[in-house]
Chain A
């Protein structure tokens, strides 16, 4: 009985991690932390992909996870470059100071 883990546990863990990622995104002001929260969310989603892959005995979920990783890598490269540029221009990492999308 206790030798196996119900699949819903994995999904619940994924949901919790995702929610924590959202929380980090919402409550943190440091732009790098916010960015890391996004990575955390992506990881949570990856976990659910792999879990579904297990459920369906199907390798596709792994492939999706792989692609998410690739995209995350690209995103990290570009995103961090943007952060560098923003910091260069504004000398701040506070996300609330970066609101030029307003108006």
Chain B
């Protein structure tokens, strides 16, 4: 079925734009970049139509990649229903965001570079999704990390952007280290990295082995999907252009961890301990990130913490055993969070780069299309029925209740806070009176058409794509408790959040500030993101930097290595100044030494038996 064509198109786009893009006109760059992703999307659709019901995975073998002793790793692509879901999300939303980027990036420098990176990202993301072994998945995993780094630091002339890129890269290394260890351990125990072989044997493996593997995989997922304690890179990653935030840091790349854990469900279902850890980490992340989101003023920061929080939800779903619910939320979240980011991008674009919500307000009339599309995302993420977020969030919360009621209740509170902070962002941006200076203007059609498509998906995506139904054959059957009471509670929490935000930011605009004054300590705590960055700085970064400075730089490098190198140099100079006496500059002097040397050589040959007989 030529699956390789799916990632091939973006790769070709990357190569063409990356090599020749500098000389291309903008429209040609657009054609190549958007065209390649659209072709990829169309090929996915064609693949789906040709695949039939896909109850059994379809694997294509291309070539043997690594063959060494017992290791035999092929370049295999795999398609099953989970892959189909991911492929549609990645290529579909990817196409929309590529189109949007044409408008958003039109005034930016490095135009072709941006699209080349974006295409490269699509390539790696598709390899990640299609790979039929952990190693191939890891190739995509690292590749998207690289593209993420490149795109966060896209404005490389700004220090904070490059710092954010470095932070994302370094924090992800910790997660990738866990993932690598997991792969080593998998290979040690199962002798293979192919999904089918590993999962076949995993069911009968000892539980502690699976728990170890599961926890290590979870470390990897924590890095890529921004879970506690490795979530710190994601909010900073908003330094990149907004379409990047939407595509990579909301819709696709950060969900790779969710995809990976869902893919490895066999390992996790046999390792309940690891599942519990995932659920707890997930809910803790969801809750903490939501509280931080309450007090942020940068519109992209709000949505960044929202992303962290929603990813936490997905992990709650995975950890509760409801893998399909996790993937379901992944899909709906991709719709509405991409929409929120693109909408935020549209607002920022309209205000010529302003990101602080305190300088916005009253934009409802000025940029109506953006406003109405974002309203769709707003209701979706707040869990208002019957929009997409409601279905998936409800599925996760139900599963969580079956797992542990405590997680459910925290989840409900988090849902309320989610509704609150998104509403707050909406009210601060679009309601009230305009507080900024720039002259707002509506975005061009090339930007709002993708917004409109995503808005429609956010509204109806929930029941248009019944993901749990679709994935039923893949994941183990999950007993879903029919409990309407629980549903009402979570919906109520959402409405409560919206209502509270309406009260605080529209009815009585001064109330938020006075509350912040009253609860100064907690407000400062969440406003400063629990000082996590400062804590990491003090406990991890500074000791490492200090240790490197004192031990590695001053001690090893300056003392030992420089000492050796300089010592060798100094001794050579001493010897040289002695030998210099021989270099009289007189040819006959040299010839005398040559003669001396040949005499010595013949003597040595004679003495040591170099002569025959």
Contact = CB atoms under 8 A, between A and B. Distances in A.
Q: Do chains A and B touch in the complex (CB under 8 A)?
A: yes
Contacts of A99: 584-586
Contacts of A91: none
Interface stretch (B9-17, B121-129, B241-249, B588-596): B588-596
Contacts of B595: 22, 26
Contact of A102 (B583, B588, B591): B583
Interface in B570-603: 583-588, 591-592, 595
A75 to B, nearest CB: 15
Contacts of A34: 587-588
Contact of B591 (A22, A96, A98, A100): A22
A100 B588 contact: no
A26 B591 CA distance: 7
Contacts of B588: 25-26, 34, 95-96
A8 interface: no
A14 to B, nearest CB: 15
Contacts of A100: 585
Contacts of A25: 588, 591
Nearest to B583: A102
Contacts of B584: 99, 102
Contacts of A22: 591, 595
Contacts of B587: 34, 95, 98, 101
A65 to B, nearest CB: 21
A95 B585 CA distance: 11
Contacts of B585: 99-103
Contacts of B586: 95-96, 99, 102
B146 to A, nearest CB: 54
B580 to A, nearest CB: 9
A26 B583 contact: no
A99 B590 CA distance: 12
B335 to A, nearest CB: 79
A22 B595 CA distance: 8
Nearest to B598: A22
Nearest to B590: A101
Nearest to A96: B586
A25 B588 CA distance: 7
Contacts of B592: 26
- The residue in A96, A98, A100, A103 that gathers the most chain B C-beta atoms within 10 A of its C-beta is A96
A102 B587 CA distance: 10
A25 B586 CA distance: 12
B68 to A, nearest CB: 49
A45 B584 CA distance: 28
Interface string A10-51: 000000000000100110000000100000000000000000
Interface string B302-325: 000000000000000000000000
A103 B595 CA distance: 23
Chain A CB within 10 Å, residue with most, of B584, B588, B592? B588
Nearest to B584: A102
A102 B584 CA distance: 6
A95 B586 CA distance: 8
A26 B587 CA distance: 9
A101 B589 CA distance: 12
A103 B584 CA distance: 8
Contacts of A102: 583-586
A103 B587 CA distance: 14
Contacts of A101: 583, 585, 587
B613 to A, nearest CB: 14
Contacts of A103: 585
Nearest to B592: A26
Of A26, A95, A98, A100, chain B has the most CB atoms within 10 Å of the CB of A26
Interface string A76-103: 0000000000000000000110111111
A69 B585 CA distance: 29
Nearest to A103: B585
Interface string B463-477: 000000000000000
Contacts of A26: 588, 591-592, 595
Nearest to A31: B587
A34 to B, nearest CB: 8
A97 to B, nearest CB: 10
A103 B588 CA distance: 16
Contacts of A98: 587
A26 B595 CA distance: 10
Interface string A53-87: 00000000000000000000000000000000000
Interface in B482-500: none
Interface string B231-250: 00000000000000000000
B600 to A, nearest CB: 15
A34 B588 CA distance: 9
A83 B331 CA distance: 87
A99 B584 CA distance: 8
Nearest to B594: A22
A101 B585 CA distance: 5
Nearest to A25: B591
Nearest to A37: B591
B587 to A, nearest CB: 6
A57 to B, nearest CB: 20
28 contacts: A22-B591, A22-B595, A25-B588, A25-B591, A26-B588, A26-B591, A26-B592, A26-B595, A34-B587, A34-B588, A95-B586, A95-B587, A95-B588, A96-B586, A96-B588, A98-B587, A99-B584, A99-B585, A99-B586, A100-B585, A101-B583, A101-B585, A101-B587, A102-B583, A102-B584, A102-B585, A102-B586, A103-B585
Given A95-B586, A95-B587, A99-B585, 5 more contacts: A22-B591, A96-B586, A96-B588, A99-B586, A101-B583
Q: 4 closest Cβ contacts across the A-B interface?
A: A102-B585, A99-B585, A101-B585, A25-B591
